[in-house]
Structure 1
Amino acid sequence: MRPRLALASLWPVTQAPEGTRRLPAGRKAELAAYVAEVGEASVARLAERFEVSVDTIRRDLDSLDADGHLIRTHGGAVSQAASPRPEFGLDVRTRMQAGAKDRIGAAAAALVADGMVLMVNAGTTTLALARHLGERRELTVATNSLRLPAELAPASVRDLYVFGGSVRLAAQATVGPVGFPDGAETPDPRIQADLALVGVGSVCEGSGYWTSNLAEAAMLRDMMHRSERVAVLADSSKLERRLFAQIADLGAADYLVTDAAPPPSLAAALVEAGVELVVAP
C-alpha cells in the first residue's frame, strides 16, 4: 500500500536548495502544503514555482486529489479548507467542507416530518440535506435546484416542483419568481410551505443572512416569507462574513443549523433575535 503523505511535517512550505533534485513524493507533499497555504493556485503558477512541466503538475494534482489532500479544478487546484466561491463549479463546491455539510444536512433533516411541504434552495449544503431525507414520506418539495431532484429518494416525495427562471449553469439553479404560472400565465401568489430550508453564503451578527447574487437574494427572501418556519443552513466557515446581497435579518429564521458553535457575540445575537441554534454533532 502506498504510504499517505505526511503534510504537517512540511509546514511552512520551503523551496529545495538550488541544484537539488526533489523526489516526486517530496514535491507532491510540498505542492499540497503550498495549495493549503494559498488556498488556490493555477497549474501554470505551480509549474513555475516548483520548476517542473505543466504535465508533471497536472499528474501531481490528480494524484493529490485522489488521495484527498486537495480539490482539482479546471486549470489548477483549491484547498479543502478554502471558502467556496460562486465561480467554482458545483462539483468543486460540493467537495469543500463536505464532512461539515453532511452533518448539517443530517441535523436539518431532523426538523422535517412526514407530509411536510418544503421549500429548498439550490446549494451544496441543501444537496447534503436531500440525501438525508430518505426515511421521510409524503413530502412536497419546491426548489430552484436542478440537481436536488436527483438526490431525493423517490419513496420520500409525493410531489416535486422546480421553480422556473433564468438558469445559472455553474450553480445548477434557476433564479426567478417563487411561484408557478396559473391560467393567466402569472406566478401564483398562493403557494405556502411548512418549512423553508435555505443555504446561505454568510451569516453576520449585525445584518443577518447574505449571498453573492442580488436576484438570488430576492428569491430566497421570498421563499422565507412564504414558509411557516425557516431553517438557515451554513457551515462555520460562513459565520461572521458579509457578502454582496442581504437576504434577510437574523430574526427572519427560526433555526440556524451549523457544524460548530458560533462566536459568542453571534450566539448572543441569535438568542436576542429568537433564532434556535442547532449545532450538528
Structure 2
Amino acid sequence: METSAPAHRRRLPAGRKADLASYVEQTGQVTVGDLAEHFGVSIDTIRRDLDQLDREGVLVRTHGGAVSSATGPLKDRALDVRMRVQTEEKERIARLAAGLIEDGSVVMLNAGTTTLAVARALRNHQDLTIATNNLRIPAELAPTAFRDLYVFGGAVRSITQATTGPVTFTMTPGGPEVDIRCDLALIGVGAVDEGGYSASNLGDAAMMSEMMQRAERTAILADSSKIGRRFFAQIAQLDRADYLITDAPPPPHIAAALAQADVQVLVP
C-alpha cells in the first residue's frame, strides 16, 4: 500500500506561502535553509516564495533569508533590513532635509537609513563639507556634491555600519582636538515623544547629542512610525532641535509639545 506524503508536502503553493508568512512572523527571523527543511521543499522554491511575499509586503527579504515586517521596534535589525522598511517615507523626508542645506555649508549626518537617503538627495548640491559617523555615506554621496568629507573615528557597530565615539578630530595622532562646528546637523532618531528624542544605544545617543551641540541648527529626521515612542537612551529634549522632518503630521498631543518647544514641523 502506497504511503501518503507528509501533510506539509501536500500543501498547495498558496497554502504553503500563507503558512510560510505566518511562520516568519512568529519566528521573527529565518534562513532559507531553515524554511526549506521546515516545509520540506527545495531552497529554490523557498526563495521564489520569499521573493513574492516580499513584493507583496508580507515580509522583508534579506540576504539568505527573511524577517517579519510586523510593526515594532527595528532598533536591533541589521541595516540591510531597515533599508527595506518605510522606504518611500524616508525618501520624502530626505528631499525636505536636502532643501534645508545650502551649497557651501558644513553639515553633520549621523548613522541611519534616513540619513543615507539624505546623502542620495544631495546629488544636485555643491561645495559641501560633510562630517559623519555613517560608514555607508561616502558611497552614497555624489562626488560633485562635496568639497570635503570626514568620517568620525571610534568603535564600529556592525549592525548600524557606523562608528560610535567622540565627535572630534585631531590634526596629528595624539595631538590636540580640533574644535569643529557645523551649520546644520541632520539627526535620524529612533523615537520622538513629549519627553524628547531617544535612541536604543547609549553610545549612539551620546554621539547624536554632541553633534547637536556643535550645530547652529538641528533637524531631527523621523518617519511617522517613530513618533509617539520612547527608547532607552535619551538624546535631547524637544527644544534642542529647530526642525522635525517627518512624513505625516504628528498626533495632536505631540504636535502641541513640539510647538511649545518652538520646533518647526516639516512634512511633505
- CA distance 1:83–1:130, change in 2 (3 Å): farther
Tell me which of 248, 254, 260 is aligned to 1:272: 260
Tell me which of 224, 227, 230 is aligned to 2:212: 224
Matching residue of 1:128: 117
Alignment map for 1:70-109 (pairs within 5 Å): 70-73=59-62, 76-80=65-69, 82-83=71-72, 85-109=74-98
Q: Hey, what's the Cα distance between the residues in 1 that align with 2:8 and 2:201?
A: 49
- CA distance 1:93–1:127, change in 2 (3 Å): same
Give unmatched runs, 5+ long, in structure 2.
1-6
Q: Hey, what's the Cα distance between the residues in 2 that align with 1:213 and 1:45?
A: 30
Matching residue of 2:188: 199
TM-score (normalised: structure 2): 0.86
Tell me which of 176, 179, 186 is aligned to 1:190: 179
Q: Indicate whether 1:171 and 2:160 are aligned.
A: yes
Matching residue of 2:137: 148
Q: For residue 70 of structure 1, report the CA deviation from its aligned partner.
A: 2.3
RMSD after superposition: 2.7
Q: For residue 65 of structure 1, report the CA deviation from its aligned partner.
A: 3.0
- Aligned partners of 1:105 and 1:126 also within 8 Å: yes
Tell me which of 30, 36, 40 is aligned to 2:28: 40
TM-score (normalised: structure 1): 0.83
- Aligned partners of 1:86 and 1:171 also within 8 Å: no
Tell me which of 246, 255, 260 is aligned to 1:258: 246
Q: Hey, what's the Cα distance between the residues in 1 that align with 2:30 and 2:24?
A: 13
- CA distance 1:251–1:45, change in 2 (3 Å): farther
Q: Hey, what's the Cα distance between the residues in 1 that align with 2:80 and 2:70?
A: 15
Equivalent position amino acid for 1:85 in 2: L
Percent identity over the alignment?
Answer: 58
